[in-house]
């Protein structure tokens, strides 16, 4: 009979994190990232992957130190996910086949401009010039291109990861905008809670910075245009913030039932205590100004964790550095935590240093949240020199802070009304 110490307040298996891996623009690996993050270093730089002449945004957190066989988002995203998974499995002490399900958060995939132009040129003359989709299909049928097909299939990243690491069952690929990484973790948590597996591999990756991506976000007025100097552009909760800085990265977390982890002698790094998610139907890209869905998401995560608002000692904010989203998130947190938000709950944004890693953000920030509890070091929010007077927060301004934290809330509020929050604890309280 399973001991009660392995069950949560609802009688479900407690979920332990036993392995973590991360890559951001700061570097490769948890040690390198954590050292630079807590030192207040920025990974934001001028984009060199492509020509940005004439673009309003010329900066980003591209990951250019991982070799990829081709210059496309799928290959980059796969390479980042592969490396973080290798690191996470090594830390978890898992060799050979993983033998559990894979839940992957990956960016939306489509051919980049040069690939579409090349396809159009290959299209048979008999096809109508105005019907691009039919022209692409005709070109592929006339001359199949397996390499191109692999590069534009949404599920190809998870299939390759599954083959490499020996996961079990059909790998799941999801994309819920900026909440994707947190959603992948939630799916892994639910799979273990429901008794379908004792362990789950949760991965989030995004290597999708391209000219088209930058232009699209620029057309939405979402990106910072404060290009000079690049490292000063992302300034969450500051008065002069003007948009997020697009970035790349990946993170992998090995999740296990606490009972399984203890039985095999694994080191428990932290506990995924609660997950919350709510949809926001206000607008295709903008969050509801009243913060209602975000408030409900935070409350749902706390309820799922069986913890009160008073238990949270630190918040890893979504903190994108956009005018609207920072204000909305502040209002949502204020509604839930009240006066404690100003006086007793430090609340910093990793995005001030690594930028917004989009699909990967929720998992990257979950890793940093657990690391905060493990080390007793709170990473700063850099570039905080001109506070927004309407946002009264302890953002751990500019310099790291030492302090014991036993419970963390990590928020991910994304485009399209996708909202997810995670509650993580140091011990299985």
Residues annotated catalytic, as ranges: 178, 318, 356
Place of tokens 């309820």: 303
Strand partners, 420: 277, 412
Strand partners, 13: 7
What SS3 state is found at 406?
A: coil
Strand partners, 314: 408
415 HSE (CA, 13 A, CB side):
17
Our measurement of the distance from residue 160's CA atom to the centroid of its chain's CA atoms, rounded to an integer in Å, reads 20
Pairing of strands 102-105, 199-206: parallel
What SS3 state is found at 172?
A: strand
Structure tokens at 96: 């050979």
What SS3 state is found at 208?
A: coil
Task: Looking at 93-155, list the stretches that DSSP marks H as alpha helix, in order from N- to C-terminal side.
Answer: 113-122, 132-142, 146-152
The C-alpha atoms of residue 184 and residue 50 are separated, in whole angstroms, by 31
Task: Looking at 7-122, list the stretches that DSSP marks H as alpha helix, in order from N- to C-terminal side.
Answer: 30-38, 73-92, 113-122
Residue 117 has a CB neighbour count (10 Å cut-off) of: 11
Pairing of strands 314-316, 347-348: parallel
- Residue among 261, 257, 246, 163 at smallest CA distance from 212: 246
Structure tokens at 370: 């657990």
């Amino acid at each position: 009979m399973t001991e009660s110490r392995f069950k949560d307040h609802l009688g479900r298996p407690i979920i332990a994190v036993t392995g973590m891996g991360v890559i951001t623009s700061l570097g490769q690996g948890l040690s390198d990232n954590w050292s630079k993050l807590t030192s207040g270093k920025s990974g934001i730089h001028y984009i060199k992957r492509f020509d940005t002449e004439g673009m309003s945004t010329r900066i980003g957190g591209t990951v250019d130190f991982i070799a990829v066989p081709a210059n496309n988002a799928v290959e980059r995203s796969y390479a980042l996910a592969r490396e973080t998974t290798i690191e996470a499995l090594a830390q978890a002490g898992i060799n050979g086949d993983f033998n559990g399900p894979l839940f992957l958060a990956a960016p939306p995939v489509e051919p980049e401009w040069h690939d579409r132009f090349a396809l159009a040129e290959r299209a048979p003359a008999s096809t109508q010039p105005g019907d691009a989709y039919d022209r692409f299909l005709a070109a592929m049928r006339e001359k199949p291109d397996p390499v191109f097909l692999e590069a534009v299939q949404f599920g190809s990243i998870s299939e390759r990861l599954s083959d490499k690491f020996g996961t079990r069952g059909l790998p799941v690929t999801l994309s819920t905008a900026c909440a994707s990484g947190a959603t992948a973790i939630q799916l892994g948590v639910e799979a273990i809670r429901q008794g379908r597996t004792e362990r789950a591999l949760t991965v989030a990756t995004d290597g999708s910075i391209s000219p088209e991506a930058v232009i699209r976000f620029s057309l939405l007025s979402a990106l910072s245009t404060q290009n000079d100097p690049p490292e000063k552009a992302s300034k969450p909760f500051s008065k002069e913030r003007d948009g997020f800085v697009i970035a790349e990265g990946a993170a992998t977390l090995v999740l296990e039932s606490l009972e399984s982890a203890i039985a095999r002698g694994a080191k428990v790094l932290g506990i995924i205590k609660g997950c919350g998610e709510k949809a926001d139907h206000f607008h295709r890209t903008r969050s509801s100004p009243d913060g209602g869905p975000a408030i409900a998401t935070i409350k749902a995560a706390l309820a799922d964790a069986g913890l009160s608002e008073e238990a949270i000692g630190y918040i890893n904010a979504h903190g994108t550095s956009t005018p609207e989203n920072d204000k909305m998130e502040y209002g949502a947190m204020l509604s839930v935590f009240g006066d404690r938000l100003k006086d007793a709950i430090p609340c910093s944004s990793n995005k001030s240093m690594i930028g917004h890693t989009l699909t990967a953000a929720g998992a990257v920030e979950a890793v940093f949240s657990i690391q905060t509890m493990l080390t007793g070091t709170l990473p700063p929010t850099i570039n905080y020199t001109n506070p927004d007077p309407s946002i009264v927060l302890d953002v751990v301004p500019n310099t790291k802070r030492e302090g014991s934290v036993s419970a963390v809330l990590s928020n991910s509020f994304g485009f399209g009304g996708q909202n997810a929050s995670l509650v993580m604890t140091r011990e299985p309280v």
